[in-house]
Amino acid sequence: MTPHDYPLQSRTIGRVLADKARRVPNRPFLLWQGRTHTYAELESMTNRYANGFTAHGIGHGDHVAVMLPNCPEFLWVVWGLAKIGAVAVPLNTAARGDMLRYFIDQSDATTVIVDAEWADRLGAVAAGLSKVRRFVLHNADVEGGASAPAPAVSLDIGPVPATAHPLSDFESDDVTPPPPERVRHDDTQLIIYTSGTTGPSKGVLCPHSQGLGIGRAIALDYGYRSDDVIYACLPLFHANAMWFSCCAALWAEAAFALSPRFSASRFWDEIRATGATQFNSLGAMTNIILQLPPGPHERDHSLRQIMAVPMSRDLHAELRRRYGVAVTSVFAMSENYAVTSFVPDDPADKAGSAGSPRGASLLRIGDDEGRELPVGEVGEILLRPLHEGAMMKGYYRMPRETADAFVDGWFRTGDRGRVDADGYLYFVDRKKEAIRRRGENISAYEVEMILSRHPAILEVAAVPVPAEMSEDEVMVYVVLNPGATMTHAEVVQFAAEHMNYYMVPRFVEFIAELPKTATEKIEKYKLKQDALARRAGLWDRERAGIEVAR
């Protein structure tokens, strides 16, 4: 059965949730740790939070930073804000120090909602957050009672002290839906931060129509049904879980089974317990699952599809053989949509590709000037959407970066690939200076800028080193100031105090000077070659027994 469709003007969170509650009120939507929330409950809970936010003075266009784990409250908060036209800024829960301060400040967030687990991180940077008027604490009762302020959060952030509220204060008794006409499909719903390359992380301005359009495309292209259970253990603050799982389930009027996090030891138990029929796997997660010991669980399940990104022919064949499921894939970014899709009916000899555009996008491979290259040649992946409202509105407060992202109306992905004669896209590598580690895009620039603040460090260059499982590990080449001394462990310690845990370098090398061109540009390709050639002998924090806390 084809899912109910919505015209572009109706693609707002408020309108779609209200319609789902009218159409399928008693159908399960959210499965969370043994409890089921129906579509009717989804509507009422998001209305409660929408009205609670309004009562506290949060309104259309206000920016609210949200640092919550996977939990029902993440959806109540983010979609409750969407219903009143406020903008949610989902924060990576690994954010700390300079990165956390940057996300909150650059986004112009005036309210910060944080889980009690990370309140100390917020407290460490609160003094510099002059734009923030209120802090809100999830799980406040854990920290000393539902009505208590957050003791770990410093409230001395400016001339007027801010107050920390428990999130429960924002759950109103009023379940009346906010007026839907106050929010348009092209209003910004989310600001999602994506890794910078030669500059700071960029806040992607995502309209309501973007995430819902992705949900529509995924549900239709992959044949999701109302009796499906879409399982997600990836974090909701990333676009994959929120759009490609949650919104896809919403569009198909299916169930969304949410797990707190990926756990290899619990994975198959959760798949069976929830009756999951589909899940998305990113990066090393696929290899970890395939390395689990074989057993009866491999066919004792309800799964019919797995989306694996990236996908190779070997992965495609092995997933099908072991688990008896269809295997799909996609090429997408936070800035855009499901640019290409590899669907269940695609021929097996196209496995290893990211699929084809399927009417969603114009796609071409360009040279450094954006000129189109012939079929089969490798170049930058360029795209142009065929549907209005399908991609970002731009980068927040970054007009130059927004303009630079386009050439003659084509969006420059910064990724390189090739397209075959049948229109299937094959990802090759990253053109942009980013490092991909365990599903996270890491800005080499930001690693370098943070480490360069250490008084002993003169210069830093961060480069990717191939990981054992898949994707990359972070390596830094460090040039010390004359007369300064520093150990490898001290570099790691400083990094762990000031950046997200997954950015902290695994490999550290001290070097007298960085190789540079005549125009003083660092020749990173030489550093990558050096790291690859000497990988076994590099100083390795894992081999040194240094663990980095999440």
The pLDDT of residue 200 is 83
| 295 CB neighbour count, 10 Å cutoff | 9
**Using an 8 Å Cβ cutoff, are 228 and 277 in contact?**
yes
For the stretch 338-387, pLDDT in tens is 999 999 999 999 999 999 999 999 999 999 888 899 999 989 999 999 99
Q: Where are the alpha helices (DSSP H) in 233-307?
A: 239, 248-252, 267-274, 284-290
Helix, strand and coil in the chain, % to nearest 5: 30, 25, 40
The C-alpha atoms of residue 343 and residue 346 are separated, in whole angstroms, by: 5
The pLDDT of residue 146 is 37
The pLDDT of residue 141 is 59
The pLDDT of residue 526 is 87
The pLDDT of residue 196 is 64
The C-alpha atoms of residue 65 and residue 105 are separated, in whole angstroms, by: 10
The pLDDT of residue 508 is 97
The domains found in the chain, sorted by start residue, are: 13-25+32-185 (3.40.50.980), 209-430 (3.40.50.12780), 436-540 (3.30.300.30)
Which segments in the chain show pLDDT lower than 50? 142-161
What would the two tokens of residue 476 be?
């830094």
Cα angle value 439/444/446 (rounded, 5°) = 100
The C-alpha atoms of residue 246 and residue 221 are separated, in whole angstroms, by: 16
The pLDDT of residue 144 is 38
The pLDDT of residue 439 is 73
Instruction: Record the pTM.
Output: 0.83
Residue with tokens 């386009």: 406
Short-list 466, 539, 542, CA closest to 508: 539
Q: Regarding beta strands 394-395 and 202-207, do their DSSP bridges make them parallel or antiparallel, or are they unpaired?
A: antiparallel
The pLDDT of residue 198 is 60
For the stretch 474-507, pLDDT in tens is 999 999 989 999 999 999 999 999 999 999 999 9
The pLDDT of residue 312 is 87
| 159 CB neighbour count, 10 Å cutoff | 5
